[in-house]
Structure 1
Amino acid sequence: MFMSCPCGPFFRFEKVFDQSTKQDEIFDNVAKPVADNVLQGYNGTIFAYGQTGSGKTFTITGGAERYVDRGIIPRTLSYLFEQFEKDGDRTYTLHISYLEIYNENGYDLLDPKHEAAKLEDLPKVSLMEDSDQNIHLKNLSVHQAASEEEALNLLFLGDTNRMIAETPMNQASTRSHCVFTIHMTSRGTGSATIRRSKLHLVDLAGSERVSKTGATGVLLTEAKYINLSLHCLEQVIIALSEKNRQHIPYRNSMMTSVLRDSLGGNCMTTMIATCSVEKRNVDESISTCRFAQRVAMIKNEVMVNEELDPKLMIQKLKREIQQLKEELAMTTGEQRTDDLSDEDLDKEAVAAYIADSDPEAILSIGADMRKIQACFAILKKHILEKPPSSHRETPRRSPVQEYSAPPPDTSPYSNTENNRLKELVQQRDNEISIFDFSFS
């Protein structure tokens, strides 16, 4: 879609929203596709850029007076927890952090140990870079949210601590950049593979011309820092849009360092350009559109973030080894024939097996047919003694003839089958040794 000024340049955008656009339409077109990709294991970023008073904070966070005015952040949280409930094949864990960058200093908006009367009361967040050039934020707390309500409470706490001031352009101007990050972890049922993804929702401070705003004192100092950091962001965008550019100046500001992965890294990034409709702000609107065009030229290479959990993999391999050993004992006729005792038939073992929510859990009782039959008897008794559901009648099963298992065939299988099982046992033992070494 194209947008142009009456006598100015043309600009191309994916979609243009006018003043009458509702918040739910913004979410459906902009944030929902990004959230769906985050659920699949991709990193995502949505950031709003524009002039002071053009609607960035309203778009990202929303209005506080009406429920329908909720912004992208609260709607995304609601959508994610809704999808968690629908997906019964995976287990999800969600954590939240909230960073504010004010005058090139980082602050933790969710610090639980401090009651902030002013911004300086919050702990400062510092940048650290590891040997692989990954950025780590020291002193930035990360909080688990087990429900939508807990997540929204964290958002409310962070917004309460934000740096807001009145300016000639905006009665409630946010004087800082804020990065609300959702850290998501998911694992499929019975799988040792973990997906880790994150979603940055960024509300940038508004760009402004000091000559127009007439800012003085503290507001003037804030405006200088805001414009400097936005200039650094623009320099990074320009460098990324130029082919074969060797050096990207991420380190010139804290904000570009934090958003390093979002700009030119492993991340699906969407920008919302907010413009004023007033004629006197046409120069700023054109500048915003030009910046958006440069952002659109950046191509990121994204991939699903998956990794193996060593602990889960070791547990899975140990269960498989136990099963293979018992299968090998059955095929070679090496069944144990221990005398049955009360301890062997302890109902707690069967009860623990039934109560285990892991679908891959096994009831290991060895290669003894008498123990196997005894456990089947305990399971049958447990089922028959279980009271029927109160809300519906349990269907009656047709009677079946009582079945007595024949004695096992103790003749050994072929040597090929036995050798195969032995090799599998040895292979799993080796894999556990490897995982134990890497995990330690």
Structure 2
Amino acid sequence: MGNGESQARDKRAFRKEHANIFEGVIFHYEKANNLQISKELVPAQFKDEAINVVVRLRPLFDHEEDKGEFPVVQCTYSSTSKILPKDNCVIVHKCMSGPDMKPQTAFIEHVAYPFPNGHVFCEDHTTQDVYSNAVLPLIGYTLNNQSKIEQRGTIFMYGQTGTGKTYTITGVVKLLSSDLFQYLLAAQKSERSTYSVKVTCLEMLGDSLYDLNNNHTEVKLLQGSGNVRDINVVGSTEININDADGLWKAYDDAAQLRETHATMINSQSSRSHYIFRISIERDGKKYARLTLIDLAGSERNADSMYHDADRQRESAWINSSLSNLKDVIRTVTLSKSNQQQHVPYRNSKLTQLLRDSFEGSGCKTLIISTLSPISTDTEHTMNTLQVMSLLANGDASLDPVISKTQAGDVFKSTDVGRMKPVAKWTTEECFAWIETVDKGKFAKYAEEFPKSVNGAQMFRFPAARFAQITGDQDVGIAMRKALDQYTEALNKQKQALAEETRSRLKGK
């Protein structure tokens, strides 16, 4: 294991080992800045922007919490802070240790990425929210074609392995299937036109392209003889689609054939790009086209170190492919704002294939970027947000807003890193725990507890007693679990301190 890899592992372990400290600092930061999360969403507009970016944060999973993970990412819409962006932003709480790796010198860098022109979906928003407020406007634009040329809408799923890209796009396709055919049936009746729908399902793995509709047969990309923008997929199969169920089945059947492998993060991670293209004709002429791309998940270099040679080459190709796509999208964005730029389409097969999704009039693109909330993924999440912020804001150079909180500034220096047994808590400490644990999830129940409750009493409370006090069985179970987790963390800290003491004695 290299020194850099060892440091990364130590950093992640330190975060989880001292989660109670970092969660307390994050809670203090939220309360001090009065951070607000709103579900009031305004549908995205695609009239002027050629490329729109939205961000979706997935929730913390139970199995992650069981492993000591905690959330360090939040989507905010307003605050009382004079420093933070006034509009949509994503805040990453980068939990750090001092040079001595002691909890007393722990601190957090709060990095706020502004997205004033894009939607930010928090962990409470549903796929329906994402579809209605980000995807549906793009579909409406693409299908409302008043010109003589084919209008093209493209949707990318971008993000780290395990952040929910495939989950999101699967839900989007289900919703799209129904809406698309409802729209076309209504249009046929009102316009007396005939519409037809065909789909192509392609997988890009390395520099090879495969037809998922035809036994995974390899196909070729060839440049058209006329316009340099014309790229033909030679040998691909188009399937005629007659209804919503047929569209969903075509997508799902092809998705099942997609290349997957286990990674450090996901036991069934998609290691290829899946391109699902819906072509619509009106009265036998090209009318509209929707292309949905579920990109392969990017992966931390540290995590890919344990793959075999094939998986390492695969990861290198994925990261290179995503980097080339990012460069193309950014350059296209600058070109749309009257800054003539050379667009590096030829740098990858993916960007060659999608060239006509970006060039010419009638092209709109939506990028849905998914994020992990957990502390272990902090650096990768920040990298994703840096890319998305750049693409979302074009050349506006909206730098993230960074502030810093020392753990010692929030807690008394004698308390930092020292966990006190629950049985020894004072009444004040009991209520402090109730109001702050799990980011204040149980704070509203504090008034229901006996005013004289102390740690010795609370330590003996079973889940049923917590449920009796709060009036909610699920809350009772959750509070007992949280108290047990605190005790487990306390025992681990005691063991670590004992080992440290033994090491010092040996060194004397």
TM-score interval, normalised by the smaller of the two chains: 0.5 to 0.7
Alpha-carbon distance between aligned partners in 2 of 1:263 and 1:11, rounded to the nearest angstrom = 25
Letter aligned with residue 103 of structure 1: G
Q: Are 2:173 and 1:73 aligned?
A: yes
Does structure 2 retain, via aligned residues, the 8 Å contact 1:264–1:298? no
Residue 235 (1) aligns with residue 327 (2): yes
Matched, 1:82 2:217: no
**Runs (5+) with no aligned partner, structure 2:** 1-87, 94-109, 146-150, 396-508
Q: Which amino acid aligns with 1:208?
A: E
Letter in 1 for 2:165: K
Return the alpha-carbon distance in structure 2 between the equivalents of residues 268 and 95 of structure 1: 20
Q: Provide closer, same or farther for how the CA distance between residues 256 and 195 of structure 1 changes in structure 2, counting only shifts above 3 A.
A: closer
Q: What is residue 212 of structure 1 aligned with on the other side?
A: 303
Hey, what does 1:93 align to over in structure 2? 196
Looking at structure 2, the residues matched to 265 and 208 of structure 1 have their Cα atoms a distance apart, in angstroms, of 33
Letter in 1 for 2:143: L
- Could you list the runs of 5+ residues in structure 1 that have no partner in the other structure? 62-70, 115-121, 188-192, 300-440
Q: Is residue 351 of structure 2 the alignment partner of residue 256 of structure 1?
A: yes
Q: Is 1:200–2:316 an aligned residue pair?
A: no
Within the candidate set 99, 123, 146, 2:217 is matched to: 123
Deviation at 1:242, TM superposition (A): 4.1
1:43 counterpart SS class? strand
Counterpart residue identity of residue 207, structure 2: E
- 1:39 aligned onto 2:143: yes
Any idea what the Cα deviations from partners look like across 1:347-385, whole Å, max 9, x if unmatched?
xxxxxxxxxxxxxxxxxxxxxxxxxxxxxxxxxxxxxxx
Alpha-carbon distance in structure 2 between the residues aligned to 1:33 and 1:77: 15
One-letter amino acid of the counterpart of residue 298, structure 2: S
Q: 1:20 Cα deviation (Å)?
A: 2.7
Q: Let me know the Cα RMSD of the aligned residues.
A: 2.0
- Equivalent of residue 106 in structure 1, options 179, 193, 209: 209
Distance of 1:129 and 1:34 partners within structure 2: 28
Mapped partners of 2:91, 2:356: distance in 1: 32
Contact 1:210–1:220, Cα closer than 8 Å, also in 2: no
Structure 2 distance, partners of 1:164, 1:178, is: 11
Match of 2:281 among 179, 185, 193: 185
For 1:242 and 1:22, locate their aligned partners in 2 and report how far apart those are by CA, in whole Å. 32
Q: 2:98 matched to 1:2?
A: no
> In structure 2, what is the equivalent of residue 434 of structure 1?
none
Cα distance in 2, alignment partners of residues 36 and 286 from structure 1:
32
In structure 2, distance between residues paired with 1:293 and 1:210: 22
Deviation at 1:145? 0.4
How do 1:7-406 and structure 2 match up within 5 A?
7-12=110-115, 14-41=118-145, 42-61=151-170, 71-87=171-187, 88=189, 89=191, 90-111=193-214, 114=215, 122-130=216-224, 131-133=226-228, 134-187=230-283, 194=285, 196-213=287-304, 214-242=306-334, 244-266=339-361, 267-297=363-393
Q: Deviations over 1:164-186 (max 9, x none)?
A: 11111112100001110100112
Distance 1:215 1:171 in 2: 13
Compared with structure 1, are the counterparts of its residues 29 and 106 closer, same or farther at alpha carbon in structure 2 (3 Å cutoff)? Answer: same
Q: Structure 1's 241 and 22: CA in aligned 2 closer, same or farther, altered over 3 A?
A: closer
Q: Where does residue 433 of structure 1 map in the other structure?
A: none
State the 1:194 CA deviation: 4.5
Q: What percentage of aligned pairs have identical amino acids? A: 29
For 1:293, give the aligned amino acid.
Answer: S
8 Å CA contact 2:89–2:112 kept in 1: the answer is no
Q: What is the DSSP-based 3-state SS (H/G/I as helix, E as strand, rest coil) of the residue aligned with 1:54? A: coil
Tell me the distance in 2 between the aligned counterparts of 1:252 and 1:230.
11
Change (3 A) 1:181 1:298: farther
> In the alignment, what sits opposite 1:402?
none
Identify if the C-alpha distance between structure 1 residues 270 and 176 changes in structure 2 by more than 3 Å, giving closer, same or farther: same
Q: CA deviation at 1:77?
A: 1.4
Compared CA separation, residues 225 and 150, structure 1 to 2 (3 A)? same
Name the CA distance, whole Å, in 2 between partners of 1:210 and 1:2.
27
Residues 293-352 of structure 1: CA deviation (Å, up to 9, x unaligned) = 2323569xxxxxxxxxxxxxxxxxxxxxxxxxxxxxxxxxxxxxxxxxxxxxxxxxxxxx
Which has the greater radius of gyration?
1
Alignment check: 8 A CA contact 1:74 1:152 kept? yes
Per-residue Cα deviation, 1:186-227 (whole angstroms, up to 9, x for no partner): 24xxxxx94511001110011112213432232212111101
Q: Which residue of 2 aligns with 1:361?
A: none
User: SS of the residue aligned with 1:184?
Assistant: strand
Runs of 4+ aligned structure 1 residues displaced above 4 Å come to: none
- The answer to whether the 8 A contact 1:207-1:226 is kept is yes
Shift of 1:82: 1.4
Instruction: Confirm or deny: 8 A CA contact 1:275 1:285 kept in the other structure.
Output: yes
Structure 2: distance between partners of 1:178 and 1:11: 30
8 Å Cα contact 2:222/2:234 also seen in 1:
yes
Aligned amino acid, residue 204 of structure 1: L
Does the CA-based 8 Å contact 2:272-2:295 persist in structure 1? yes
TM-score after normalising by structure 2 = 0.52
**Cα distance in 2 for residues equivalent to 1:80 and 1:19:** 27
Question: Which structure has the higher relative contact order (CA within 8 Å, separation 6+)?
Answer: 2
